[in-house]
Amino acid sequence: MVSQEADTGLSDTNRETFVRELQELKEYGSSLLVVGDVPDAAAVKACHWMLGDETVQDRRRLFVSTSPDLPDISERLSTSPDRLHPETTKLVTWTAKSRSATTASPVRPPQLPYEGVDPSHVESDKLAELGIAISREIEAFEEIAGELSPSELRVCFDSLTALSAEYDQQKVLQFLHILIGRIQSVRGMAHFHFPVEYDSKHVKQFAPLFDATVELQIADGQPEQRWHLREADITSGWLTPPGS
């Protein structure tokens, strides 16, 4: 996530703690809340960093979409569509029944613009159904791998906006608590997009569930990230993702 050589904008002591904490998040599993009202290109760059090098063969990546618009998985992985395979890449899409009932036409599962990944679509007002679908895809990865290595599972949840609009805070918090626990049970790394400002009330409500909050911004035309580590109570300076 952040190299030993990166300029974190911290004192030597805090920098050592910061880098050590990030290494532990990779070793034991982690959940990251990605926030900031920025263009989608900045969110895509964050995905590149958090999903890791797509050429590493033992990575399993699971995408969860709560939007009718299908995420461009190949773009978020910075890879060509022909490199996507069900053994390493899975997608769960979700639509609330109450939302589809109010639309002029039925909401249908989105169609993939490429072959190789067959989405699992959930249409339900029960968040538990979405959680079950995600857990099943994790189980499928476990069966393929035998046992998932630390940080082998990478999860991109895009985004929490629809859930916070459809359900009260307590239901969403309970859903996230259970889901984060499931992901960390296999020492996976998950990031959850929430495109709102860091100082918003929504972030204050959700941040305590996560190991870190990653704040995004655009500075001089380039995407930057600032990390807020919850347990260590450390905030980095603004970092430029590799390849920016």
Residue for token pair 């109010």: 102
* 147-183 pLDDT tens trace: 999 999 999 999 999 999 999 999 999 999 999 999 9
pLDDT at 233: 95
Higher pLDDT, 241 or 185: 185
* pLDDT higher than threshold 60 for residue 71: yes
Q: How confident is the model at residue 97 (pLDDT cuts 50, 70, 90)?
A: confident
One-character DSSP codes across 17-54: HHHHHHHHHHHH-EEEEEE-S--HHHHHHHHHHHH--T
The reported pLDDT for the residue numbered 106 is: 46
pLDDT-derived band at 109, boundaries 50, 70, 90: very low
pLDDT of residue 73: 80
Mean per-residue pLDDT, 136-156: 95
- Model pLDDT, residue 32: 98
Domain ranges of the chain: 38-202
**Cα–chain-centroid distance for residue 160?**
10
Choose the weakest-confidence range: 1-10, 83-92, 114-123, 226-235: 1-10
Task: Give the model's pLDDT for residue 128.
Answer: 96
Supply the pTM of this predicted model. Answer: 0.90
Supply the DSSP symbol for 4: T
Residue 74, pLDDT score:
75
